[in-house]
């Protein structure tokens, strides 16, 4: 953390350089933890078997690099993960690396060591990261987090092709034919307004759409995409409050019309709903 006189990164760099000079004449002894110790906290995945591949990947790396690795999988139930982030930031001790969801990297920017060197190497070998990830993991021109794929999801809608065709007049197979490019005209016409129209038609037929709208994070992840599609922002990239705009009025009106045709209990659908 930057408040210390000697950061962990600087300490490891300087001691490694010193060791390279001071131990040169002595016989080289390669211990089981010659690469040092590292503690990592990951989000505990909802899928019971999902943690195992990540654990194996990390431990294989640790064995190869001779690192004494401690891994903790921290549940998000009861907000334990974000409480752990806050507690370790306040105590200025804890995990060397810790998973942080969405905005929490930016919220803890002053407590995080910059990782520009790490990101430079990753971008050089793997290419640029997604713009949304860079927006969240970069503050004041410096990287304060390394974007990861662990837990990333797209939350696509799932629907009945036959019912969409019967009740909403949508031919999904014509829009996106198997093994062929999408029908450009139909694809471009598939907007959020078209989505609302289809939702209204299916509701009238007795087969309503279901989109979650509770206060759980997974339930409302899709809401941001609708705001973005209408050009509505609550706060801009510079921290200026921009909620009072014509775009916000338009998107709220859209949601008002959609909620009228969604099942009432969508307001209670949680992360597992």
What 3 state SS string does 45-85 have?
CCCCCCHHHHHHHHHHHHHHHCCEEEEEEECCHHHHHHHHH
Q: 31 falls in which pLDDT band (50, 70, 90)?
A: low
Furthest-apart CA pair in the chain: how many Å? 83
Q: 27 falls in which pLDDT band (50, 70, 90)?
A: very low
Residues with Cβ within 8 Å of 129's Cβ and at least 6 positions away in sequence, in order, are: 123, 137, 147
| Selected residue with higher pLDDT from 215 and 257 | 257
Residues with Cβ within 8 Å of 1's Cβ and at least 6 positions away in sequence, in order, are: 7, 92, 111, 112, 113
pLDDT at 161: 97
pLDDT at 132: 83
Q: Percent of the chain beyond pLDDT 70?
A: 86
pLDDT at 117: 96
CA distance 172 to 195: 13
Look at residue 248 and tell me whether its pLDDT is greater than 60.
Answer: yes
Residue (of 234, 272, 271) closest to 252 by Cα position: 234
User: What 8-state DSSP symbol labels residue 241?
Assistant: B
pLDDT at 273: 62
Q: Over the stretch 175-199, which tens digit does the pLDDT of each residue have? A: 999 999 999 999 999 999 999 999 9
pLDDT at 9: 52
The residues with which 235 forms a beta bridge, in sequence order, are 241
What average pLDDT does the segment 251-272 reach? 93
pLDDT at 34: 64
Q: Over the stretch 48-58, which tens digit does the pLDDT of each residue have? A: 899 999 999 99
pLDDT at 13: 42
- For the whole model, what pTM was predicted? 0.68
Chain mean pLDDT for the chain: 86
């Amino acid at each position: 953390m930057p408040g210390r006189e000697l950061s962990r990164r600087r300490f490891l760099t300087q001691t490694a350089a010193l060791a390279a000079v001071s131990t040169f004449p002595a016989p080289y002894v390669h211990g089981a933890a010659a690469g040092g110790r590292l503690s990592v906290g990951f989000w505990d995945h909802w899928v019971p078997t999902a943690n195992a591949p990540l654990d194996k990947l990390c431990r294989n790396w640790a064995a190869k690099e001779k690192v004494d690795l401690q891994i903790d999988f921290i549940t998000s139930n009861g907000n334990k993960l974000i409480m752990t982030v806050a507690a370790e930031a306040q105590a200025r001790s804890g995990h060397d690396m810790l998973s942080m969801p969405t905005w929490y990297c930016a919220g803890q920017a002053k407590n995080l060591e910059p990782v520009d060197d790490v990101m430079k190497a990753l971008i050089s070998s793997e290419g640029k990261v997604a713009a949304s990830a860079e927006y969240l993991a970069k503050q004041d021109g410096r990287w304060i987090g390394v974007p990861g794929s662990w837990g990333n999801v797209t939350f696509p809608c799932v629907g009945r092709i036959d019912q969409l065709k019967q009740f909403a007049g949508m031919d999904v197979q014509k829009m996106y034919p198997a093994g062929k490019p999408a029908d450009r005209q139909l694809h471009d016409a598939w907007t959020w307004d078209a989505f609302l129209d289809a939702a209204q038609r299916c509701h009238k037929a007795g087969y309503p759409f279901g989109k979650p709208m509770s206060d759980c994070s997974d339930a409302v992840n899709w809401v941001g995409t609708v705001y973005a599609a209408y050009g509505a922002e609550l706060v801009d990239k510079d921290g200026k409050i921009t909620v009072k705009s014509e775009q916000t009025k338009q998107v709220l009106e859209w949601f008002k019309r959609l909620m009228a045709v969604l099942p009432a209990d969508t307001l209670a659908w949680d992360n597992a709903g």
